[in-house]
Chains A and B, each alone.
Chain A
Amino acid sequence: MSTPEVAAAPLLGQPRLTDEDRARSRDRARVHNARRHSKRWYLLWLLVGPGILAMLGENDGPSMIAYAADGAQYGLGFFVPFIPVLFAMAYVCQEMCMRVGAVTHRGYGELVLQRYGRLWGWFGAGDLTLTNLVTLVAEFVSIRVGLAYFHLGAGVAVALGLALVAFTLSGGRYWRWERIVLGLALFNGLFLVAAILVKPHVGAIAGSFDFSPFPGGSFNTLLLLLASTIGATVTPWMIFFQQSASADKGMTPSDVKHGRYDTAAGAVLAAIFGLGALIAGAALLTHNGAGIEGFAGAGFPEALSHVAGGAVGTVFALGLIEAGAVAILTISASTAYAAGECVGASHSFNSSPRNAGVFYAANAGIALLAAAVILIPGAPLLSIALNANVLATVLLPVSLVFMVMLANDRGLMGAWVNRRSTNVIGIAVIAFVGLCGAAYGIDSFLQAIHLVGS
Chain B
Amino acid sequence: MRTGAPPANDAQPVLLGNGAQPSPGIQEQDLQRQERFEDELIMDLERDQFVAETSRPVPRAVLSARVTAGLWALRVFVVIVSLMVIYTFVDQLH
Contacts of B61 in A (CB 8 A): 115-116, 409, 411
CB-CB contacts below 8 Å: A14-67 with B: 14-22, 24-26, 28-29, 32
Known contacts A123-B75, A401-B71; is A383 also within 8 Å of B93 by CB? yes
Task: Determine chain A's interface SS by DSSP, over half rule.
Answer: helix
Contacts of B41 in A (CB 8 A): 17, 21-22, 25-26, 29
Verify B2–A346 contact, CB threshold 8 A: yes
Verify A411–B93 contact, CB threshold 8 A: no
Task: Determine chain B's interface SS by DSSP, over half rule.
Answer: helix
Contact with A along B51-67 (1 / 0, CB 8 A): 11110111111010000
Q: Which of A17, A106, A445 contacts B6 (CB 8 A)?
A: A17
Known contacts A18-B7, A401-B71; is A10 also within 8 Å of B46 by CB? no
Q: How many residues of B contact A (CB 8 A)?
A: 48
Q: Any chain A CB within 8 A of the CB of B20?
A: no
Q: How far is the CA of A337 from the CA of B44 in the complex (A)?
A: 24
Contacts of A452 in B (CB 8 A): none
Q: Which of A32, A411, A438 contacts B59 (CB 8 A)?
A: A411
**Stretch from A186-194, A273-281, A390-398 contacting the other chain:** A390-398
Q: How many residues of A contact B (CB 8 A)?
A: 64
CB-CB contacts below 8 Å: B66-94 with A: 71, 74-75, 77-78, 81-82, 84-89, 91-93
Verify A116–B89 contact, CB threshold 8 A: no
**Stretch from A1-9, A89-97, A155-163 contacting the other chain:** A1-9
Residues of chain B whose beta carbon lies under 8 Å from any beta carbon of chain A: 1-2, 4-7, 9-12, 38, 40-42, 44-54, 56-61, 63, 71, 74-75, 77-78, 81-82, 84-89, 91-93
A–B pairs, 9, beta carbons within 8 Å: A1-B48, A2-B53, A104-B58, A105-B49, A115-B58, A115-B59, A391-B85, A441-B84, A448-B92
Residues of chain A whose beta carbon lies under 8 Å from any beta carbon of chain B: 1-2, 4, 6-7, 9-11, 13-22, 24-26, 28-29, 32, 104-106, 111, 114-117, 120, 123, 247, 250, 252, 344-346, 354-355, 380, 383, 387, 390-391, 394-395, 397-398, 401, 409, 411-412, 437-438, 440-442, 444-445, 447-448
> 4 tightest A-B contacts by CB?
A7-B47, A2-B48, A445-B84, A25-B41
